Amino acid sequence: MSLVRDPSEIARWDDETDVLVVGLGAAGAAAALDAAATGAETLVLERAGGGGGTSAMSGGVLYLGGGTPLQQACGFEDSPEAMFRYLMASCGDAPDEEKTRRYCEGSLEHYDWLVEKGVPFKPVFYHGCSGEPPTDDGLVWSGSERAWPFCEAAEPAPRGHVPQMEHQAGPLLMQSLVSATEASPARVATGHRAVALVQEPDGSVVGAVCESFGETRNLRARRGLVLTTGGFIQNRAMLEAHAPRARRCKFRVGAEGDDGSGIALGVAAGGATLHMDALSISLPVTQPWGLKRGILVNGQGQRFINEDAYYGRLGEYALLRHDGRAWLVVDDAVFEKPDYPRELAAVGESPGELECELDLPAGSLDTTLALYNRHAERGEDPLFHKQADYLQPLSRPPFGAFDCTSTSSLYAAFTLGGLHTDPDGRVLDPAGDPIPGLFAAGRASSGLAVGGYSSGLSLGDGTYFGRRAGACAARNGAP
Amino acid sequence: MSLVRDPSEIARWDDETDVLVVGLGAAGAAAALDAAATGAETLVLERAGGGGGTSAMSGGVLYLGGGTPLQQACGFEDSPEAMFRYLMASCGDAPDEEKTRRYCEGSLEHYDWLVEKGVPFKPVFYHGCSGEPPTDDGLVWSGSERAWPFCEAAEPAPRGHVPQMEHQAGPLLMQSLVSATEASPARVATGHRAVALVQEPDGSVVGAVCESFGETRNLRARRGLVLTTGGFIQNRAMLEAHAPRARRCKFRVGAEGDDGSGIALGVAAGGATLHMDALSISLPVTQPWGLKRGILVNGQGQRFINEDAYYGRLGEYALLRHDGRAWLVVDDAVFEKPDYPRELAAVGESPGELECELDLPAGSLDTTLALYNRHAERGEDPLFHKQADYLQPLSRPPFGAFDCTSTSSLYAAFTLGGLHTDPDGRVLDPAGDPIPGLFAAGRASSGLAVGGYSSGLSLGDGTYFGRRAGACAARNGAP
């Protein structure tokens, strides 16, 4: 059945609104709130029985900075410029400079908006084992800001803003945003799945065909339709087509609805995509952080990264550059019980015993450790520039290796590529022109990170650019 | 200006035909020939002053096998099954199994077709320094068939079929195919650039708007339109959007016309794409092949690949996994003058001197060479399994390093991603349904290789699936 319909195929409109938002996760709520705030009639569709989506299953971290009240309360200095430099350096090969600039400059206002919508942040800094704190503290390190090479690009500051809830703050974030949406003039229709867009011969999108409890409903959008349907980590065919290596990750981060449906609708309507191969791949193997004193080695027994880099970078390097073959090697001095239940793949009285157990090439681990120790004794790491705090020779037997292979360990993946949008959320065609009436935000679109993921960027850009998409749709696409 | 027009915008058709082929490279010629062979009226547009495109600038190698007359004449055995297993193992993360299967099974017939169209192959095997022979010999190794891990996946056979012309056979290949096209009933219109597709409200593509010497011409395609416009290596914005790391390659393989125009037209009409990040990246640093006895090291002084792998694999690993930081290290015993003018980045009496010259971490190269030599003395390479022929300890001073960094050396890149087509060349929408009237072949579409390039695959799949696209268009899209 076609993903795009001509208006002549629509016998009648079952409902209509100014702005139609498809999907009620973080981006959808933000779009609906700021569309409704302009006075535009707004209707939000959600295919599930209630709002929340993948955002509600997440850690709830929002990457914000530039000197927010929370950063200040916790005693950290930051600037939009430092944040911009970090993001441009860390977010993959070709991040969108204009979006990144606007996001950094708008971060303080966006923080205030979130607080106003009822998202609480406890003004306490959490320093410890994770980018998603087990406490209800508000601020954490959630990226590679202090790690090489990013520490050279910008003054580090912690920018992970976590709603006040223990262990996992996504549910609280979405409870706040969905409540705010329900309290707004926007209407919410759950159990509605958009299956096609209605597009005029001139290319304008003027509505959607939905399925709801076995019935087809045609919904007209007078001013604009905003796709906030999430990424495609749950769509096997799309992963094969665009990001085949994600299939090797055992843990796919996303609600069932992250099947790329909105991206497909946008593409069928002639929308261009960006960075469809880009992935966030987290490998949280250095929790607690003392384990950063170990070394990560690949299938050749070689180190391949500074172990103090953030999990998003560790996972990307291990999976994409080293085929998901990695082990974290420790000695008796740096051994700690890790947070994640990971298998201890091998123990040995010497590096040689360990490499034999792991079936690594003879002499490889011995060679790697000898070179690492020689430098670590002087507090140096000329290969990968790990911070001195985590540099100590690994020489006290027994030696152990934690299994960080993609076949056994936790690689948490979701997709970052999606529809090509401008900073106002307008979906662009391959010539760079907006498709009239069509908008997108959140992971249905390509956002700030196109690699090198720091926690909080998707909730951050999803809400920030979701707001802009909703407001621009309410303006009929006017800038 | 919109890339898609409604038929109501077309005042009159300036010309019409059954099958309209856009682009006269190898894929376009093949499409036109097999469309015209069915009796369908066929018109080929070429934006340049004459046919040829990127194919005419290439080495002219066609990857064929399964036991062609040329392979047999040269004394090599091969089978479609061995060829299939090699391609599925080597062509990237998620090659198209159905297309690969058909290509391997159709290879003998396709060889005969090429010969019939006037492409000459001299029945002499060339063994030497390159996948593109300096002689006019017909058969070469043009992939990693004998290298690990592919030698374990399938019985190796040389499959590079080279038209009989010294140094560079692309001009001869295209001279043959363009002459055959001109001798066929198909018409050719040069100086015609397609700027928009004409699409009915039901999604059918029924023609194209062209520009020709300052005039706009509307061309109707009664049965089908075939996009054979090439890849997008010459389009900076598209590279940023889909394959940003290609920008680091100094040599971009493609005619000016490889600007992604046909891919953009197909996307604007609602076509899906596949593997838009995929690249062929060749690093021809081991010519003559004796240089495979050297070792390639990265910015940490570590080996990262078996040096006997084909250039397409060397380039991909060096650029995508090691940031284009690589050097080929030799000793006095294996030193040879390389074919390509590359800078000798450093010379030293010891590995330590060399690593110092190259600014590699202290002790890194020493460590790497010691481990390599220890294994090479026994004819082994447990890290990367290089063939024994190329394994010998590197221990006779002086030592030298050839510069294989992307800033200085020759990385030859072109794009592999494109429109999603089925084996009959029909362009598919995101739901997997054909867009009526729209076809594509060659590098405007995603073909056999989505990584791990072997020479000859693009001319091979471009002509093979080009023929199928032309014939299917002539059948009005019927299977």
Q: Is B264 in Cβ contact with A431 (below 8 Å)?
A: yes
Does any CB of chain B come closer than 8 Å to the CB of residue A264?
yes
CATH number, domain with residue A104: 3.50.50.60
A165 contacts A172 by C-beta, under 8 angstroms: yes
Is residue A269 included in any domain, yes or no?
Answer: yes
Q: Is B276 in Cβ contact with A431 (below 8 Å)?
A: no
pLDDT tens-digit series, residues B236-259 = 999 999 999 999 998 999 999 999
Instruction: Give the gap in angstroms from C-alpha B314 to the nearest C-alpha of chain A.
Output: 13
Which pLDDT band holds residue B5 (cuts at 50, 70, 90)? Answer: very high
Nearest Cα neighbor of A395 from A473, A294, A287 is: A294
B465 contacts B31 by C-beta, under 8 angstroms: no
Structural domain that includes position A188? 1-281+414-479
Say if residue A208 is in the same domain as residue A339: no
Amino acid letter for position A354: L
When scoring A227, A275, A356 by the number of chain B Cβ atoms within 10 A, the one with the most, hence best to mutate, is A275
When scoring A300, A366, A406, A445 by the number of chain B Cβ atoms within 10 A, the one with the most, hence best to mutate, is A300
Cα A133 from chain centre: 17
Q: Which residues in chain A touch residue B202, judged by CB atoms under 8 angstroms apart?
A: 6
A379 contacts A388 by C-beta, under 8 angstroms: yes
Say if residue A219 is in the same domain as residue A290: no
**What are residue B23's DSSP bridge partners?**
none
Q: Is A383 in Cβ contact with B300 (below 8 Å)?
A: yes
Does any CB of chain A come closer than 8 Å to the CB of residue B276?
yes
Say if residue A101 is in the same domain as residue A204: yes
Residue A35, pLDDT > 90, answer: yes
Q: Which residues in chain B touch residue A92, judged by CB atoms under 8 angstroms apart?
A: 244
Is residue B204 included in any domain, yes or no?
Answer: yes
ipTM of the complex: 0.94
Is residue B408 included in any domain, yes or no?
Answer: no
Q: Is A383 in Cβ contact with B264 (below 8 Å)?
A: no
**What are residue A210's DSSP bridge partners?**
A194, A217
Taking CA–CA distances from A375, the nearest residue in chain B reads B362
Residue A87, pLDDT > 80, answer: yes
Does any CB of chain A come closer than 8 Å to the CB of residue B203?
yes
Of B1, B93, B430, the CB nearest to A264: B430
Backbone angles phi, psi at A126, to 5 degrees: -105, 125
Does any CB of chain A come closer than 8 Å to the CB of residue B39?
no
Q: Is A1 in Cβ contact with B431 (below 8 Å)?
A: yes
- How far apart, in Å, do the first and last CA atoms of chain B sit? 34
Q: Which residues in chain A touch residue B6, judged by CB atoms under 8 angstroms apart?
A: 201-202
Using the CB atoms, write b or e for B124-162: b if 16+ within 10 Å.
ebbeebbbbbeebbbbbbbbbbbbbebbebbebbbbbbb
Say if residue B86 is in the same domain as residue B224: yes
- For chains A and B, count residue pairs whose Cβ atoms are closer than 8 Å: 146
Which pLDDT band holds residue B130 (cuts at 50, 70, 90)? Answer: low
Say if residue A290 is in the same domain as residue A274: no
Last residue of a domain, one of A346, A375, A403: A403
Q: For residues A143 and A150, what is the distance between their CA atoms, to the nearest angstrom?
A: 10
A117 contacts A181 by C-beta, under 8 angstroms: no
CB contacts under 8 A, A 426-465 vs B, are 429-433, 450
CB contacts under 8 A, A 120-159 vs B, are none
Say if residue B433 is in the same domain as residue B340: no
Say if residue A348 is in the same domain as residue A460: no
Residue B287, pLDDT > 90, answer: no
Say if residue B229 is in the same domain as residue B147: yes
Instruction: Give the gap in angstroms from C-alpha A428 to the nearest C-alpha of chain B.
Output: 10
pLDDT tens-digit series, residues B36-54 = 999 999 999 999 999 999 9
Q: For residues A385 and A153, what is the distance between their CA atoms, to the nearest angstrom?
A: 14
Which helix (H) or strand (E) element contains residue B180?
Answer: helix B170-183
Q: What is the 3-state secondary structure (H, E, C) of A341-400?
A: CCCEEEEECCHHHHHHHHCCCCCHHHHHHHHHHHHHCCCCCCCCCCCHHHCCCCCCCCEE
pLDDT tens-digit series, residues B356-413 = 999 999 999 999 999 999 999 999 999 999 999 999 999 999 999 999 999 988 899 9
Does any CB of chain A come closer than 8 Å to the CB of residue B273?
yes
pLDDT tens-digit series, residues B298-327 = 999 999 999 999 999 999 999 999 999 999
Nearest Cα neighbor of A197 from A228, A222, A223, A218 is: A218
Say if residue A244 is in the same domain as residue A101: yes
Is residue A462 included in any domain, yes or no?
Answer: yes
Say if residue B242 is in the same domain as residue B313: no
> Number of folded domains in chain A?
2
Say if residue A320 is in the same domain as residue A260: no
B224 contacts A78 by C-beta, under 8 angstroms: no
pLDDT of residue B164: 96
B1 contacts A203 by C-beta, under 8 angstroms: no
Q: For residues A293 and A142, what is the distance between their CA atoms, to the nearest angstrom?
A: 19
Of A6, A268, A269, the CB nearest to B201: A6
Q: Is B384 in Cβ contact with A362 (below 8 Å)?
A: no
B431 contacts B299 by C-beta, under 8 angstroms: no
CATH number, domain with residue A320: 3.90.700.10
Q: Is B270 in Cβ contact with A270 (below 8 Å)?
A: yes
Say if residue A205 is in the same domain as residue A238: yes
Does any CB of chain B come closer than 8 Å to the CB of residue A362?
yes
Q: Which residues in chain B touch residue A322, judged by CB atoms under 8 angstroms apart?
A: 321
Is residue B409 included in any domain, yes or no?
Answer: no
Which pLDDT band holds residue B131 (cuts at 50, 70, 90)? Answer: low
Angle at A382 between CA A381 and CA A388, to 5 degrees: 30
Last residue of a domain, one of A354, A370, A403: A403
Is residue B69 included in any domain, yes or no?
Answer: yes
Is residue A408 included in any domain, yes or no?
Answer: no
Last residue of a domain, one of B403, B437, B465: B403
Does any CB of chain B come closer than 8 Å to the CB of residue A287?
no
A208 contacts A198 by C-beta, under 8 angstroms: yes
pLDDT of residue B129: 67
Is residue A409 included in any domain, yes or no?
Answer: no
How many CA atoms, within 13 angstroms, populate the side-chain half-sphere of residue A231?
A: 31
Q: pTM for the whole thing?
A: 0.96
Query: What is the average per-residue pLDDT within A209-237?
Result: 97
Does any CB of chain A come closer than 8 Å to the CB of residue B272?
yes
